[in-house]
Amino acid sequence: MAITIIGFIVLLIGITTVYFSTRAGVLALTVAMIFGAAAAILMPSLGGNSIPPSHLMLVFLAFGILLRPAEAQACLRSLAYPGAGFWFAAFVLFSVMSALFLPRIFEGVTLVYSSARDDSAMMSPLASPLQPGSSNLTQSVYLLGNLFCFAVVGGLIQLGHSNFVARAFVIAAITCFVFAGIDVLTFFTGQADLLDFLRNANYTMHTAETFAGFKRIVGTFPEASTYGAVALAFVSFTVVLWLERYPMRGLGYVSLVGGISVALCTSTTAYSVSIVMLAYLIAYSLRRTWQGQGHTTHYSFLGAMLLVLPIVIMGAMLVPEIWQSIVGLFDAAFANKLDSQSGEERTAWNTLALLAFLDTSGFGAGLGSVRASSFVAALLSNVGLPGALLFGIFAYRLFFRSGNLAEDRESRAIRMAAIASCISQIASATVSSSGIDLGLIFSITAAMAVGRLRSQELKRALPRLMASSVAIRSLRSGPTQAGGRT
């Protein structure tokens, strides 16, 4: 195990946040999430795996929560039955149990493309019989980290800090887009190596590639598809905040810059999901307008998407050089994608993943056992029908049973923005994710989407929480006797 320079910086920041507050830790965590190509700790003994800065920050968040009992109880409330947090916890814990048992129960019964890394820290390009591997452990740790992140952010929201979390998320979005601009600038000035210190993880880095004549924007991530998915999650969040006139300056400009970076990132995943999100945002604005709750921002957005954008496209068609560049980009991204080596590999991954689901009688091969190229295929092949059912219940509670009926305008804006971001991330994962780990960004937006517990759910959770609180106090006070304290 080796601690990198980034790791030492995270250690210093983490210790500082433990001293100050949990909110400071969440802010540091939110910004650390965008450094997807960085490694805080390298672990050669685990197949070349590494600990990202964001997951190292979770350790310090855990220390901070343990030192603050009120916040620890709020974290537990965010996981109370029957809310989305309870079902997310059930999904994560079942997935971890599947990683322990299913690869051993079904060992050798099917062929899989494993997510485990070999000695050269690369994933094997060949299918092999199912067997336990290091990826079962690492994926379990990542999912448990996601659950803890959800609980911490949910706990802060239960304590009334939803505005702080939302603003921290916007700060992370701005930081992400700034580094995307630096990535493009350093590439064209021949100084791309200036960002190498942020790309020290044991991943294959696609940082200097071009696509149909365009530079592939990666920012602080290892490849364009990852950047595109993250940037689109940020854009979806900031656009809805802007539509709902959330009191934070510059949201429109942040959304515009982020949207431009997504359009230029040359990611097929980002382009595909952008179409879905544009349709969702147009439908959302139309619905708000139909309900008589529309604002000038809704009207402006509808005008830009339904009138200005078509005019811009028709204007581009009149300039052959511009139009040919656009057509070439989209031909390479869509029409020729399936015929490429990458497209053929991803098709093979999904095919073998679905066969693993059938070969294991619908139980799945265990978390981290199967590499796929779609969240749906990964979900079925890794955790089977039981895991898919738990995630489905979680998604239902997240999208249709979240929020407080008595929430104020700002809380509603945050919740609707977070729901849009969650939809974007699930859609991106459905197109190209190799596993079922949706990441810490999803955990934060899901916690914001859930909002504060409804009053009836809080009443159900209070007896259990009170019993836990009494038990904790009795342990602290020590044993007592009838005649008084011992």
Stretch 343-358: mean pLDDT: 86
pLDDT band with cut points at 50, 70 and 90 for residue 485:
very low
Greater confidence (160 vs 418) lies with: 418
pTM of the model: 0.87
Q: What is the 3-state secondary structure (H, E, C) of 142-177?
A: HHHHHHHHHHHHHHHHHCCCHHHHHHHHHHHHHHHH
Inside any domain, residue 216 = yes
* 407 lies in some domain: yes
Percent of the chain surpassing pLDDT 70: 85
CB 414 within 8 A of CB 450: no
What's the pLDDT score for residue 9?
A: 92
Quickly count: other Cβ atoms within 10 Å of residue 5's Cβ. Answer: 11
Structural domains counted in the chain: 1
Higher pLDDT, 12 or 473: 12
The confidence score (pLDDT) of residue 199 equals: 82
Mean predicted confidence (pLDDT) in 144-159? 93
Q: How confident is the model at residue 233, as a pLDDT? A: 95
Residue-level pLDDT at 486: 34
Averaged pLDDT for residues 257-276: 90
Instruction: List the end-to-end C-alpha distance of the chain, in Å, as a whole number.
Output: 47
**Contact yes or no for 365/110 (Cβ under 8 A):** yes
In a domain, 152, yes or no: yes
pLDDT of the residue at 470: 53
pLDDT of residue 334: 65
The pairs formed by 322-331 with CB atoms below 8 angstroms and a separation of 24 or more are: 325/212, 325/213, 325/214, 328/212, 328/213, 329/211, 329/212, 329/213, 329/214, 329/266, 330/271, 331/212
Residue with tokens 């929201």, as numbered in its chain: 157
**Is 92:144 a contact under the CB 8 Å cutoff?**
yes
Determine which of 70-84, 255-269, 397-411, 450-464 has the lowest per-residue pLDDT on average.
450-464
Structure confidence at residue 120 (pLDDT): 44
Query: Residue 30: inside a domain, yes or no?
Result: yes
Residue 102 pLDDT greater than 70, yes or no: yes
Backbone φ, ψ for residue 475 (5° rounding): -70, -35
What is the mean pLDDT of the segment spanning 37-53?
A: 77
Q: What is the mean pLDDT of residues 313-335?
A: 76
Contact criterion met (CB below 8 Å) for 421 and 233 = yes
Mean pLDDT over 368-390 rounds to: 93
Residue whose C-alpha is closest to residue 35's, from 53, 49, 50, 48: 53
Confidence band (pLDDT; 50, 70, 90) for 125?
Answer: low
Query: By the 8 A CB rule, do 334 and 268 touch?
Result: yes
pLDDT tens across 49-60, in order?
Answer: 778 899 999 999
Q: Beta-carbon neighbour count of residue 429 at 10 Å?
A: 24
If DSSP codes are grouped into helix, strand and coil, which group holds residue 265?
coil
* Structure-model confidence comparison of residues 12 and 196, the more confident one: 12
Poorest-pLDDT segment among 14-18, 243-247, 315-319, 372-376: 315-319
Band the pLDDT of 202: cuts 50, 70, 90. Answer: confident
Peptide bond into 463 cis (omega under 30): no
| Separation of alpha carbons 322 and 311, rounded Å | 15
At residue 255, does pLDDT exceed 90?
Answer: yes
- List the single range of 164-168, 206-210, 385-389 with lowest mean pLDDT: 206-210
**Does the pLDDT of residue 343 top 80, yes or no?**
no
Per DSSP, helices labelled H in 265-408 are 268-290, 296-303, 309-317, 320-330, 341-359, 375-400
What average pLDDT score do residues 319-347 get?
71
pLDDT of residue 235: 96
Q: What is the mean pLDDT of residues 321-326?
A: 76
In a domain, 478, yes or no: no
Q: For 222-246, what is the mean pLDDT?
A: 93
What confidence tier does 46 reach under pLDDT thresholds 50, 70, 90? low
Nearest to 233 by CA among 81, 25, 439: 439
pLDDT of 268: 85
Torsion of CA 137, 143, 145, 149, to 10 degrees: 180
Over range 222-247, report the average pLDDT.
93
The tens digit of pLDDT for each residue in 411-451 reads 899 999 999 999 999 999 999 888 899 999 999 999 999 87
Question: Does pLDDT of 17 surpass 70?
Answer: yes
Q: Residue range 455-482: average pLDDT?
A: 50
Of 262-266, 272-276, 462-466, which range is least confident? Answer: 462-466
The verdict on residue 265 lying in a domain is yes
Q: What is the CA radius of gyration of the chain?
A: 23
Query: What's the confidence (pLDDT) of residue 163?
Result: 93
Confidence check: pLDDT of 378 > 90: yes
- 345 found inside a domain: yes
Q: Is residue 176 part of a domain?
A: yes
Q: Is the pLDDT of residue 118 over 70?
A: no
Between vectors from CA 150 to CA 144 and to CA 154, what angle results, nearest 5°? 150
Q: Vertex 33, ends 27 and 36: CA angle to 5°?
A: 160
Choice among 36-45, 84-93, 328-337 with the minimum mean pLDDT: 328-337
Domain hosting residue 341, numbered range:
2-471
Average pLDDT, the chain: 84
Buried b (16+ CB within 10 A) or exposed e, 206-233: bbeeebbebbbbbbbbbbbbbbbbbbbb
